[in-house]
Amino acid sequence: MHKKLFSLFVETSNMRKTRRVVNINVQGKKYSRTATYSVGREKIREFAHAVKSTSPVSFDVFAAQTAGYADLVAPPTFAVVVQERSLATVLADPEADIDFSRVVHGDQRFVHVRPIVAGDELTSELTVASVKTLGAHSMVTFETQIFDETGELVCTAISTLVVRGGE
Amino acid sequence: MMTMHTLPKLIELEVGQVIGATEFLLTRDSLVRYAGASGDFNQIHYRDDVAAAVGLPGVLAHGMLTMGAAVQVAVDWVGDAGRVIDYQVRFTKPVVVHPTDGAVLIVTGTIGAIDAEANTVRIDLEAVFEDAKVLGKAQAVVRL
């Protein structure tokens, strides 16, 4: 299982011993909207470069506009940046009680209504879609809906984290 | 400089057809760059001592970097990052990034399904590191 963890992983890994790894009652819980994320051109270029993209629509405003977009187009996985902000609210929630020192990234999906473009002002709303127990492990699926400034849905990011049970 | 990209024609495609393959070299520099761009500063992605302390075989590439790089095969084929409307992967194996040599990820895209009505094509991506697949069910649906 791929260990794509969150920054708190390291800080917390040695602090917690035997305890439950996630509160099952948190299933269905909806978290409040995050503060606005303003998508900038240079951020799109930086992210596109980091994921080794060479797609002209992510770097060249003229290419993006020629292709029919308002501005530079974010790579298909860019929504993770916005999703992370919502996940941070879950991390900080004592009720969810997720032991992030035991978390590994199980799977990830992005369903786009339209691509994210520079100039978007995005907010996100996270719901704990499901909590499943598999032996000693728990699988928590988060669904993050990302909206633009007009309230239209832009993307749904679905992330399943596997929380390893205590040994 | 810009070159015009011709969109693939749905009628000329068939399931099983390989659309492209790309070799990505993921170095420690790549991981630092991705950490900065994404905001994921988990130390297991750049510190050997921390990776070792939590029992990992070495510094790992961010799963989201592997996911983000792999889809470029589909993006290059369709010629436009905005045409990938649905993309999912399962993280099945970690990519260990050597401090000097990095890690070579080989990604191959194959047409998995064609939806003529929706005018979309599903690209199945295979990402291989050290002869093993590191992504499962890696599928990108692109709009033509």
Interface membership of B29 toward A (CB under 8 Å): no
What's the Cα-to-Cα distance from B133 to each of A1, A134, B15, rounded to whole Å? 12, 24, 21
- β strands within A26-120, DSSP E: 37-38, 103-112
**Domains of chain A and CATH, by start:** 8-39+75-163 (3.10.129.10)
What class has domain B10-27+61-143? alpha beta
CA distance A30 to B135: 29
| CB within 8 Å: B62 and A4 | yes
Interface membership of A9 toward B (CB under 8 Å): yes
Q: Which residue has the tokens 């997720």?
A: A98
Element (H, E) at B122: strand B120-129
| Chain B nearest C-alpha distance from A83 (Å) | 11
CA distance A78 to A119: 14
| Chain A nearest C-alpha distance from B59 (Å) | 10
Number of CB pairs, chain A paired with chain B, less than 8 A apart: 153
Single-letter code of the amino acid located at B113:
A
CA distance B46 to B54: 13
Of B121, B124, B114, B116, nearest to B143 by C-alpha is: B121
Interface membership of A29 toward B (CB under 8 Å): no
Spans of all domains in chain B: 10-27+61-143
Please state the ipTM of this predicted complex.
Answer: 0.95
Q: What is the pLDDT of residue A9?
A: 36
- Digit-by-digit pLDDT tens for chain A (167 residues) are 433 333 333 333 434 444 556 777 788 889 988 899 999 999 999 999 999 999 999 999 999 999 999 999 999 999 999 999 888 888 788 888 877 667 888 999 999 999 999 999 999 999 999 999 888 888 999 999 999 999 999 999 999 998 877 65
pTM for this one?
A: 0.90
